[in-house]
Amino acid sequence: MSKRVVLEASHAVAEAVKMADVDVVAAYPITPQTHIPERLAEMVADGELDAAYIPVESEHSAMSTALGAAAVGARAFTTTAGQGLELMHEPVYIAASHRYPIVMAVCNRALSAPISIWCDHSDVMSCRDTGWIQVFCQNNQESFDMTLWAFRVGEDPSVMFPVMVNLDGFTLSHVTEPLLLPDQADADRFLPKYEYRLALKPEAPTSHGGFGLPDIYTEVKFAQEVALRGSRAVLDKGWKEFADIFGREYKAVETYKADGAKTLLVTMGSLGETAKMVVDSKREKGEAVGHLNLRLWRPFPFADFREAVKGVDTLVVLDRCFSFGGPGGPVCSELRAALFDMDKRPKVVGFIGGIGGREIDAETFAYMIDRGKEIAEKGSEYLYEPVLVRGLERGTGVRG
């Protein structure tokens, strides 16, 4: 039986970590992630959670400590944001390469300079190719659900990859709203005990982390690539089991009012909630508009995405990150690449906005949809158009 509670999203993540009965939490505080480690430290101090809470001296050490814990077979969790994720970049890459199923919640935050504590997706985009499974959440319930799911699928013996659970800093991490918490027995049913076959132990010594000469490095990395892509079936199985036990359904690519839609608004993260409201009002006016939420960012769900956009004329994509000097926002260029080989493909129109905590309101989304349709019809000389930049007129953008 689940119980209805009112919790901040950060605390919902902490509840999931507790229900996962982690052995080690190693974290370093950074706004807007602080409420997660604070709540976990409190749980440990009160005896609610039997784990080692390690108040490390940096994010680099947070991830390194998680690596050590994972190497001996412990269930390990860490969490960070923005600059913290940048500082830990090096061991983040190791976690996936060593196939340690560490779970990390990232409260997405803009990158310095100038220093900003507010949300965008620049931090996680720099980790795009680190080899982690990466998912995004839209609300508090999802923050809990994805965290519990992350342990389940990451630790699956046929997966063994770390999982990054992204929640938008402040606009999700600090939001308080009702959600359902399962009871421990159901959580245990969903998430079995974790046993790591190759754990470092004296009775059966193994070496982790040898160095790769050119005659083997390629094979090692290719094996990693095959394994990450191969994990997809288990990610879906994890969501299916989750739905069977808890009744909430998740998919790699989720659509809303997409039946018969000619235009889809594409978002990743908590702005999906606002986007769906805008879709509702457009639909009321008789416009064939829907929403596409990209939940799974890595491994990228190519087939699901292509299937979801069949029959759609225009994709209006919002990126919350600049790719300086590049092809436009990282999500938009990914989607374009995914569609390129299709015979009949929708026109992809890219916008960049919601940077460093700037709100994207309903009016702006409505504008993006209208402008997107216009570009799809008439074409555009721009690679993408930034929205809500002071001094930049609507309808102007960045040329390639």
Partner 1 sequence: MAPEFVKVGKHNIDAKEYLAPGHTFCTGCGEALAIRLVCKALGENTIIGMATGCDEVCTSPLPVTSWRLPWLHTLFENAAAEVSGMEAGLKAMMRKGKAPQRDIKFVAMAGDGGTSDIGLQALSGALERGHDFLYVCWDNEAYMNTGIQRSSATPYGASTTTAPAGKLSMGQQTQKKNMVEICVAHEIPYAATACPSYPFDLMNKIKKAVEIKGPAYVHVFVPCPTGWRTPSNQTIEIGKLAVETGVFPLYEVENGRYRLNVDPPKLKPVEQYLKPQGRFRHLSPGEISEIQERVTEGYARLKEKATSFPAG
Binding site for partner 1 (CB under 8 A): 21, 23-24, 26, 50-52, 54-58, 60-61, 64-74, 76, 90-91, 94, 98, 193, 200-202, 205-213, 216, 220
Nearer CB in complex with partner 1: 50/177 = 50
Backbone φ and ψ for 87, nearest 5 degrees, come out as: -65, -35
Give the largest Cα separation in the chain, rounded. Answer: 70
Integer CA distances (angstroms), 223 to 216, 218, 228, 237, in order: 11, 8, 9, 22
Q: Which two tokens stand for residue 364?
A: 């702006």
CB of 151 to partner 1, least distance (A): 14
The four Cα atoms 306, 121, 106, 138 give a dihedral, to 10 degrees, of -60
Residue 90 CB, nearest approach to partner 1 (Å)? 6
Complex with partner 1: residue 75 or 371, whichever CB lies closer: 75
**And the tokens for 16?**
């999931």
Non-local (6+) Cβ contacts of 247 within 8 A are none
Output 208 or 251, the one with its CB closest to partner 1: 208
Nearest to 312 by CA among 365, 261, 267: 261
Distance in Å, CB of 79 to partner 1, minimum = 15
Residue number with CB closer to partner 1 (39 or 98)? 98
34 vs 65 by CB, closer to partner 1:
65
Q: Which is nearer to partner 1, 60 or 251 (CB)?
A: 60
Least distance in angstroms from the C-beta of 217 to partner 1? 8
Structure tokens at 51: 């784990």
What minimum distance in Å lies between the beta carbon of 192 and partner 1? Answer: 13
DSSP for residue 204? S
User: Least distance in Å: CB of 294 to partner 1?
Assistant: 31
Residues 234-261 as b/e (b if ≥16 CB within 10 A, e otherwise) read bbbebbebbeeebeeebbbbbbbbbeeb
